[in-house]
Amino acid sequence: MSAPTTNTPATRTGSGPRRAVREPALLVLEDGYVLRGSAYAATGRTVGEIVFSTGMTGYQETLTDPSYHRQIVVMTAPHIGNTGVNEEDPESSRIWVAGYVVRDPARRASSWRATRELEDELADQGVVGICDVDTRALTRHLRERGVMRAGIFSGAALPAGADHLTDQAMEVLLDVVRESPQMLGADLAREVSTEEAYVVEPTGEFAGREPVATVVAVDLGIKARTPQQLAARGVRVHVVPQRTTLAEVLAYEPDGVFFSNGPGDPEAATHEVDLLRGVLDEQLPFFGICFGNQLLGRALGYGTYKLEYGHRGVNQPVLDRTTGKVEITAHNHGFAVDAPIGETSTAPYEAGRYGRVEVSHVALNDNVVEGLRALDIPAFSVQYHPEAAAGPHDAEHLFDRFVALMQNRRLARGATPTTTSTSDESEAR
């Protein structure tokens, strides 16, 4: 796994729950928009695509989500850090954000679950941040201009004259930002994927029993709660690296294949799309979320495109077009699938090789495609996170749907059925 996207050595701004004196810091966007603030967490410089998250809770899950690799995250909620951090909520083994922007950092954690201060955790992992900035104005700017590259600069990374925003200093900082890599065309899943395969065995009432199904989960930036959701339903999950081949997938004799969330441009993920087409050709049940949804779209022959400012947060309304229900969902995506809404279409790849497809879910805020369902092969996907640890949990039933799909395949192949306590519920939906 790669290191945080910092360009100069990061140093801590201090220790303990409250910094008495903070050094100045600047946030510089590639269009020339500049905000003064104070150094938060580590000092130094960092660059990345700047995005905003509208969630009022779950910041630890956000920070440890590999999908935020190479992104500077702006928190729209004004007060961040009040619940500290703990050992239970991380979604991966490290913090992935390239930088962190908050308005009012908490003076100290106030939660019985907290084991450390958020700022100390960020600093120890070398994450350069900025606080005391108007995050509302910044969010409005990004909504109007779209997400773009940005940089946070503090400490030794501030050139002479930066405190007065001199033309020469600003030119230096803008050059750093504008020379940084763009997200468009970035192939990043390999940078966040596990190096070695590992197994998550069934848990809870299914622990120690024969699994109801075996799944190969391709790690493109997978979050810990995803295999946990499947394991809680009696599934044995083989989590495998991004580079895994179709032959290696089939060697596990899986009942289904799962593609996780992850960072980067789906158009650059050629290996993953080829792998997925092989899975679809084998008629293996497939479920994808977030990046996995975009890859299913591309495998079926649809295009993808970059959203102006994306969807990020735990409060996004989505219409399930199958049931007519509205679910509040967790999102983290800057790309979307370009597929026809409101009508069944034939998958464009190789003149309809994969049959008919419908858009199963739609974002109510902007009518973006939020899910796909193949009608002639056992494959479906959603753009959001039904496993979201911080919630909401409206869409967890999609894991039941996946288990039911795999059990139907086992029945068709003459295998002895093993039911779960939730499969009937999923069929009812």
Cα(183)–Cα(185) distance, integer angstroms: 6
Q: Is 332 annotated as a binding residue?
A: yes
Q: Is 262 annotated as a binding residue?
A: yes
Q: Which of 417, 353, 411, 354 is nearest to 381 (CA)?
A: 354
Strands 345-346 vs 213-218: parallel, antiparallel or unpaired: unpaired
Q: Which of 226, 230, 227, 236 is nearest to 201 (CA)?
A: 236
Q: Is 287 annotated as a binding residue?
A: no
**Which amino acids are annotated catalytic?**
290, 385, 387
Question: What CA–CA distances, in Å, run from 30 to 67, 115, 158, 394, 412?
Answer: 22, 37, 16, 38, 56
Burial of 17 per CB tally in 10 Å (0-12, 13-18, 19+): middle
Q: Is 335 annotated as a binding residue?
A: yes
- Measured at the CA of 155, the angle between CA 150 and CA 157, to 5 degrees, comes to 50
Q: Is 294 annotated as a binding residue?
A: yes
Q: With contact defined as beta carbons under 8 Å apart, do 254 and 214 qualify?
A: yes
Q: Is 264 annotated as a binding residue?
A: yes
Where do runs of H (alpha helix) occur along 308-413? 397-412
Q: Is 71 annotated as a binding residue?
A: no
Where do runs of H (alpha helix) occur along 52-165? 59-63, 118-124, 135-145
Q: Is 334 annotated as a binding residue?
A: yes
User: CB-based contacts of 117: which residues, under 8 Å, 6+ apart?
Assistant: 16, 17, 81, 84, 85, 108, 109
Strands 24-29 vs 34-43: parallel, antiparallel or unpaired: antiparallel
Residues annotated in the binding site for L-glutamine, as ranges? 67, 262, 264, 291, 294, 332, 334-335
Binding-site positions? 67, 262, 264, 291, 294, 332, 334-335
